[in-house]
Chains A and B, each alone.
Chain A
Amino acid sequence: MSADLIPSLIHLTGMLLLAAALAIIASPQLFACIRLYAAHSFLLAATTILVACHEGVTHLWIPALLTLLLKVIVIPQVFFRMIRRLGIRREVESYINIPFSLILAVALLFLSFYGTAHLPGLSGVEEREFIPMAAATVFWGMLMMATRKKALTQIVGLLLMENGLFLMAITLTSGMPLLVELGIFFDVLVGVIIMGVFVFKIRDAFEGIDVDDLTVLKG
Chain B
Amino acid sequence: MITSLFLLQLALLVFGAVAGFLCRRSEEQANWAVHLSAVFAGAVGVIYSLTALTGGRSFDLGFFSISPVGPLRLAIDPLSAFFVLVISFLSTVTSIYAIGYSRHYQGDGRDSRIACLGFLYNLFILSMILVVTARDAFYFLIFWEVMSLVSYFLVVFEHTKPEARQAGIFYFVMTHAGTALIAAAFWLLFIETGSFSFDAFRLHANNLPSVVKNAVFLCALAGFGTKAGLVPVHVWLPRAHPQAPSHVSALMSGVMIKTAVYALIRFLFTFLGEIPLWWGTLLLTVAILSTLFGILYALMEHDLKRLLAFSSIENMGIIFLGVGMAAVFTSLGEPLYAGFALIAALYHLMNHAFFKGLLFLGAGSVLSQTHTRNMEQLGGLIRKMPWTAGAFLIGCLAISALPPMNGFVSEWMTLMALLAGSGFDGEGLRFFTPVLASLLGFAGALAATCFVKAFGITFLGSPRSSHSEQATEASVSMKVGLGILSAGCVALGISCGWMIPLLNRAANSALGYSDENLFSFSRQGFLVSPAGMSQISPLVIFFTLAVLLIALVVLLGKGVYRIGPSWACGMPALSPRMQYSAIGYSKPMRRVFSFLYRPTRRVEVEEEGHDLLRTAQRFEVKIEPFFEKILYRPAVQWISRLSERAKQIQRGHIQLYLSYIFITLLLLLIFVRMS
Contact = CB atoms under 8 A, between A and B. Distances in A.
- Are A and B bound to each other? yes
Contacts of A216: 652
Interface stretch (B202-210, B338-346, B658-666): B658-666
Contacts of B669: 111, 115
Interface in A123-181: 139, 142-143, 145-149, 154
B672 interface: yes
Interface string B649-662: 01111110011011
Interface in B67-109: none
B652 A215 contact: yes
B665 A142 contact: yes
A114 B673 contact: yes
A214 B655 contact: no
A115 B667 CA distance: 10
A111 B669 CA distance: 9
B621 interface: no
Contact of A146 (B650, B652, B658, B670): B658
Contact of B653 (A108, A118, A139, A215): A215
A187 interface: no
Size class of the A contact interface (CB-based, 8 Å): 20 to 34
A115 B670 CA distance: 6
Contact of A214 (B652, B658, B662): B652
Contacts of A117: 673
A168 to B, nearest CB: 14
B651 A146 contact: no
A42 B672 CA distance: 33
Contacts, number: 45
Given A111-B669, A115-B669, A142-B665, A211 B655 contact: yes
Contacts of B650: 218
A100 interface: no
A143 B662 contact: yes
B651 to A, nearest CB: 7
A145 B652 contact: no
B15 to A, nearest CB: 40
Contacts of A108: 666
A218 to B, nearest CB: 4
B655 A95 contact: yes
Given A115-B673, A142-B662, A147 B652 contact: no
A212 B653 contact: yes
B665 A146 contact: no
A166 B650 CA distance: 33
Contact of A218 (B651, B658, B662): B651
- Most B CB within 10 A of own CB, among A95, A139, A146, A216: A146
Contact of A145 (B658, B665, B666, B672): B658
A142 B654 contact: no
A217 interface: yes
A120 to B, nearest CB: 12
Contacts of B659: 146
B649 to A, nearest CB: 11
Given A115-B669, A216-B652, 9 more contacts: A108-B666, A114-B673, A115-B670, A143-B662, A146-B658, A146-B659, A146-B662, A211-B653, A215-B652
List of 7 A-B pairs having minimum Cβ-Cβ separation, nearest first: A215-B652, A218-B652, A146-B658, A115-B669, A146-B659, A142-B662, A211-B654
13 contacts: A95-B655, A117-B673, A139-B662, A142-B662, A142-B665, A146-B662, A148-B655, A149-B655, A154-B654, A214-B654, A217-B652, A218-B651, A218-B652
